[in-house]
Amino acid sequence: MSKATAITNTIRSLRFHANEMTQADLAKAVGVTRQTILAIEQGKYSPSLEVAFKIAAVFKVPLDQVFQYPDA
Amino acid sequence: MSFREKSNALMLGAMVLIFGSYFGDLAMQAQAGPVELNIGMLAAAAFALVFVGIAGHIAMAAFAPAEAGEGSDERDRNIETRGSAFGGRVLALFALAALTLAVLGYPVVWVANAVLAGLVAGEIAKGVSVLIAYRQG
């Protein structure tokens, strides 16, 4: 079974500052399901590099502003 | 709960109920006397599973048409792949058991049902694995 990832993210905050974008809207823009965005936000799922870049592109910010890894 | 999650839960429940009933009947027959291969009972179980699957998916799609139209993404595929791998290992165990029964000279009906039990147990193991994976994230 999957284990929680050590990668943290600021998606919730970025969505809030993007006119309170919904998880469904972000999911549609990225091309994944809303459940996947929810799992990523909660740190339960680490997305592929491609999806990570797509999320960053939606918010027009660098990747490391969306995802952070401790000790990195 | 996504459409895929509901679909998995539906098929898991149907599989447990229908084949649980099939193997329950088989166990009762075995207590009463020698068991013969009953193709009719097997066909009825397979037909019931297909019917419940089709009718259940139509009902789910009717209640949430937008969800039903959603495709799968990378997380769905990862969960499916892990579930299939787990189910495959369970199936392999039952295949070994069926092989052992064949080598020991058990009647064909038991070897055939051991293979069937493996297919069912493999699918149930996969369904449970997928269900847990979706709940855990």
Which structural domain range is residue A45 located in?
8-68
Cβ B137–A45 below 8 Å, yes or no? yes
State how far the Cα of A54 lies from the Cα of A37, in Å rounded to an integer: 12
Q: Is residue A37 part of a domain?
A: yes
| Predicted local distance difference test score (pLDDT) of residue A7 | 87
Q: Is residue A1 part of a domain?
A: no
If pLDDT is split at 50, 70 and 90, which confidence band does A5 have? Answer: confident
User: CA of B81: which chain A residue's CA is closest?
Assistant: A1
Predicted confidence (pLDDT) at residue B65 exceeds the cutoff of 50: yes
State how far the Cα of A22 lies from the Cα of A35, in Å rounded to an integer: 12
Q: Is residue A39 part of a domain?
A: yes
Q: Is residue A14 part of a domain?
A: yes
pLDDT tens digit sequence for B7-60: 999 999 999 999 999 999 999 988 888 888 888 999 999 999 999 999 999 999
First-to-last C-alpha distance (Å) of chain A: 26
State how far the Cα of A12 lies from the Cα of A21, in Å rounded to an integer: 9
The DSSP-derived string for B64-85 is -HHHHT----HHHHHHHHHHHH
Q: Is residue A63 part of a domain?
A: yes
* CATH code of residue A34: 1.10.260.40
Q: How far is B15 from chain A (nearest CA, A)?
A: 22
Is residue A71 left, alpha or beta, with left meaning phi > 0 and alpha meaning psi from -120 to 50?
A: left
Predicted confidence (pLDDT) at residue A6 exceeds the cutoff of 60: yes
Work out the average pLDDT over B119-135: 95
| Predicted local distance difference test score (pLDDT) of residue B70 | 76
As a whole-number percent, the residues of chain A with pLDDT over 90 amount to 75
Cβ B136–A2 below 8 Å, yes or no? yes
DSSP-derived secondary structure letter, A61 = S
- Using an 8 Å Cβ cutoff, are A66 and A10 in contact? yes
Residues in B closer than 8 angstroms to A39, CB to CB, are 75, 137
Which structural domain range is residue B9 located in?
3-136
The alpha carbon of residue A56 and the mean position of all alpha carbons in its chain are separated, in whole angstroms, by 8
Q: Which has the closest alpha carbon to B93: B128, B55, B121, B130?
A: B121
Domain count, chain A: 1
Q: Is residue A3 part of a domain?
A: no
Residue the block writes with tokens 């491609």? A50
Q: Which residues pair with A8 in a beta bridge?
A: A68
Q: Which residues pair with A9 in a beta bridge?
A: A67
| Predicted local distance difference test score (pLDDT) of residue A22 | 94
Q: How far is B115 from chain A (nearest CA, A)?
A: 26
Q: Is residue A12 part of a domain?
A: yes
Q: Is residue A62 part of a domain?
A: yes
Classify strands A8-9 and A67-68 as parallel, antiparallel or unpaired.
antiparallel
Query: H helices of B33-107, where?
Result: 39-63, 65-68, 74-103
| Reported pTM | 0.84
CB contact residues (below 8 A), chain A span 19-38, against chain B = 31-36
| Predicted local distance difference test score (pLDDT) of residue A4 | 64
Q: A37-49 burial string, b = 16+ CB within 10 Å, else e?
A: bebbbeebbbbee
